Structure 1
Amino acid sequence: MIKRLIFTLYAIHLFCTTLWSSPLEKVSLQLKWKYQFQFAGFIMATEKGFYEEVGLDVKLKEFKANLNVINEVLTEESTFGIDDSQLIYYRLQGKPLVGLMTILQTSPVMFLALKESGFTNIKDLDGKRLEITNNSTLNISTQALLRAFHINTLKTSPTFHLDRLINHEVDAMVAYDSNEPYALKKLGYEPQVFSPMDYGFNFYGDILFTTEKTIQEDPQLVKRMHDASKKGWEYAFTHRDETIDIILKKYNTQKHSRESLENEAKVLKKHSNEEHEFSFLDHDKVEAIAKAFAILFPSKYDLST
C-alpha cells in the first residue's frame, strides 16, 4: 500500500505538457477555509490569467460550514480540493485520492493557550477543556499528538473565536500558526503554542488534490491545473503587496487588515517550501506519515500490501 500510495502521489508529474486552445475548460477548486493569504496562489493564478493561459476557467469555492472537502471531491461536486495530510490517511483506507502539489511542506496547525495559563508542555493539557472537533481525522496532526501522549481532554466543538480562550471558557484551542497567535497578541494577550512539529509530528499542511478518475480521464487537465497553480503560488510570494491588495479589494470576506495578511504571508512562507520547491512530495516523509497513522489510528488497511 505504501508503494502504491507513493506512486500515486508522484505519478501525475510524469505527464507531459501540450499547448492548449480555446474554449476554456470549466473546473472547480474547493478551498478548506475562507479566503485569506492561505489561498493566495490560487487567487493570483485566477487574477493574473495563469489558468486562462492553459485553457482553464477555474471556479474557486470558498469553504462553508459543515462542508467536507474530501467528500466534495469524491462525489465530483468539485474537480479539485485543498486538504492536508489526512489525504494520506484516507488513501490508506482505499479512497481514490491523489495528492498533486504541496503548498505547505509543514503544517501550521497547533494548539493555542494563554501564556498566563502556566502550561509549558503538551502534557499539561491532559484533563483540560479543549476546543477541537470530535472528528479524529480533521486537523489530524493535533489529533495524532493527543493520542501519542495519551492526553484526554474535555472537548468542545470549535467556534474559532478567541473570546472563549480569553474568557477562560476553554483552556486551549486548535489554531493556525499564521492567524490566531497574531490576533491574540493584538488583543493584548501572550500566546502559548504547542506545535505537533515540536513533538516529532512533521506532517504536510495544505495539499492540492483530485481523484484517480479525474487523472485517468484527463491527465492533461490535471497537469495544467498543477502547473498554473504552482505559477500562481510563486507569483503570490514574490509579489506580496500586490497579492494582499487584491485580497483586500476582492476576496476579503473575513475582513482581515493589511497587517494581519502581511503576518499570515510571512508565517506561511516559512511553512511553504523549506528547502523544497512547490509540489515536492518526499517519499520518506509520506511513508513516515502513513506509518504514524497506522499506529495512532488503527483501521483495516495493511501497510505491507
Structure 2
Amino acid sequence: MNAHTLFGKNAVVTALAISAISVALPAYALDKVRFGTDWLAEADHGGFYQALADGTYAKYGLDVEIQQGGPGAQNRALLLNGKLDFYLGTQQEQLVGIEEGIPLVDVAAFYQKNAQVILAHPDSDVQNFEDLAKLETIYMTHGGFGAYFEWMKATFGGFRDEQFKPYNFSPAPFLSDKQSAQQGLITAEPYEIERQTGTEPKIFLLADSGYKPYANMITTQQNLIDTNPDLVQRFVDASTEGWYNYLYGDNTAANALIKSTNPDMTDGQIEYAIEKIKSYGIVDSGDTLEKGIGCMTAERYKQLADELVKVKLLNPDTDYTKAFDTRFSCKGTGLKLKK
C-alpha cells in the first residue's frame, strides 16, 4: 500500500504545506549581524533601516540587529570589544585610530559628502564660506574645533581660535547672536532652526568648500575581514541596495521603523533630511553614479589623509592604507534599482 492510499488527501495537503514553507524560507540559516549606528535612528541611517524593513538583509542571508547610537552610547567601543560586528563611523576617526594602533577597517562609504555644515543668519552679510571668518563667533563642538576648524584655518585666511564657542546642540545661543554662525548637519539643524524661526538659515556645506572626507562609513574589525569576507561583502551589498530603495523606492516601512525606534523623530524631519540628502548629493554623487552607492576609493581616502597631515592632525609616517579596504565596494551593486 503506497503513502497516498494510506493517508489520502491529508497527505497531499501536508506535502503541499511543507513544500510552500520550504519555498518561503531561505535554504540556509541567517547569519546574525550586530550593527551599531552613530546616533539615534534618523533618515541619515535610512538605507540600513530600509534593508531591514523590506527584507533585503534577509535576502542576503543576514539577520541584522541595528543598535542605535545616541547620548552615552559607546558603539565604536562595542565594536572594538567584539560586541558589534559593524559600526557606522567616520573617515577621520578611523585614520586617527590607525595612528593609535586600533585594528578597525572601513569597507564602504555611504556618505560621499560629509553632511557637516556651518550655518549663518539669513539676513547676515555672509555670502560665501570665506565670509564666515568675519563673524565674531562660531558655535562648534570640541570635536569640530579640533578637526574641520583646523582645516578651515589652514585653507582660508581669517579664521581664528577666538571665534570658537562650545555648541551644546541647542540653536538658542546662535539665534540670539546675529554676529555668529553655528555648526550642524545639513539633515538636522537647518530644519530645527527653520521650524523655530520660520526661515531657513544660510547653509554652507564644508564638502562643497573643499573639505571632502567620507562619512557614514561601514567599519569593522580586521579579524572579521580575514575570517569571513563573504559576510562583510553581503552586508555591504545589502546595505547598498537598501540605500537605493530608500532614496528611489518606497521608503514607507523604513520610515515607520525609524520612528518606532526613535519616537522623537517626525515625518517633517525625515522628509527634510531626504530632500537635502538628494539635492546636495550626500549619498549618491561622484564615483557612485557609475560604481554604485557606498563606493570608496583609495584616491579619495588618501585626499583626507594628506589634508590631516598638512594641518598636523596626522603623523606623516602613519600608514593610512591600513584604515580601509576597497575590495567590498564600487562594484555597481544596486545601480539597476535607481529610478
CA–CA distance in structure 2, aligned partners of residues 130 and 68 of structure 1: 28
Percent of pairs identical after alignment?
19
Give the unaligned 5+ runs of structure 1.
Answer: 1-19
1:98 to 105, 113, 118: 105
Mean CA deviation greater in 156-165 or 203-212: 156-165
What letter matches 2:174 in structure 1?
A: L
1:271 corresponds to which residue?
A: 282
Unaligned ranges ≥5, structure 2? 1-25, 321-339
Tell me which residue corresponds to 2:136: 128
Is 1:226 matched with 2:241?
Answer: no
Q: SS at 2:234's partner residue?
A: helix
State how far apart, in whole Å, the 2-side matches of 1:137 and 1:95 are. 23
CA deviations over 1:131-164 (Å, ceiling 9, x no partner): 22223698x4455224544531454443322223
Distance change >3 Å, CA 245–CA 38, structure 1 → 2: closer
Of residues 29, 38, 43, the one that matches 2:44 is: 38
* CA displacement, residues 105-125 of structure 1 (integer Å, 9 cap, x when unaligned): 111111112123433444544
The alignment's TM-score, normalised by the length of structure 2, stands at: 0.73
Show the 5 A alignment for 1:77-226: 77-90=83-96, 92-93=98-99, 94-120=101-127, 121-122=129-130, 124-125=132-133, 128-135=136-143, 140-149=147-156, 150-168=159-177, 171-186=180-195, 187-226=197-236
Partner of residue 335, structure 2: none
Deviations 1:198-235 (A, max 9, x none): 43222212111111112112222211211211121111
The alignment's TM-score, normalised by the length of structure 1, stands at 0.80
Residues 206, 249 of structure 1: CA spacing in aligned structure 2 closer, same or farther, 3 A cutoff? closer
Q: Is contact 2:36–2:68 with CA below 8 Å preserved after alignment?
A: yes
Aligned partners of 1:205 and 1:227: how far apart in 2?
17
AA matched with 1:221: L
Q: 1 or 2 for the larger relative contact order (CA 8 Å, sep ≥6)?
A: 1
RMSD of aligned residue pairs (Cα, Å) = 2.9
Identify the residue that residue 58 of structure 2 maps to in structure 1: 52
Residue 283 of structure 1, CA deviation: 2.6
Name the counterpart of 2:307: 292
Gap change, CA 1:214 and 1:143, over 3 Å in 2 = farther
Taking the aligned partners of 1:304 and 1:51, their CA distance within structure 2 comes to: 33
Match of 1:64 among 70, 76, 81: 70
Displacement after TM superposition at 1:54 (Å): 2.7
Q: State how 1:230-249 maps to structure 2 within 5 Å.
A: 230-243=240-253, 245-247=255-257
Contact 1:177 1:267 in 2 (8 A): yes
Contact kept? 1:73, 1:80, Cα under 8 Å: yes
> 2: distance between equivalents of 1:170 and 1:40?
35
Which 10-residue stretch deviates more, 233-242 or 98-107?
Answer: 233-242
Q: Residue 76 in 1 paired to residue 85 in 2?
A: no
Aligned-partner SS, 1:135 = helix
Query: How many angstroms apart in 2 are the aligned matches of 1:57 and 1:169?
Result: 50
Cα distance in structure 2, aligned partners of 1:70 and 1:147 = 29
Partner SS, residue 32 of structure 2 = strand
1:293 to partner: Cα distance: 0.9
Q: Which amino acid aligns with 2:138?
A: L
Deviations 1:17-42 (A, max 9, x none): xxx85433322111111111111111
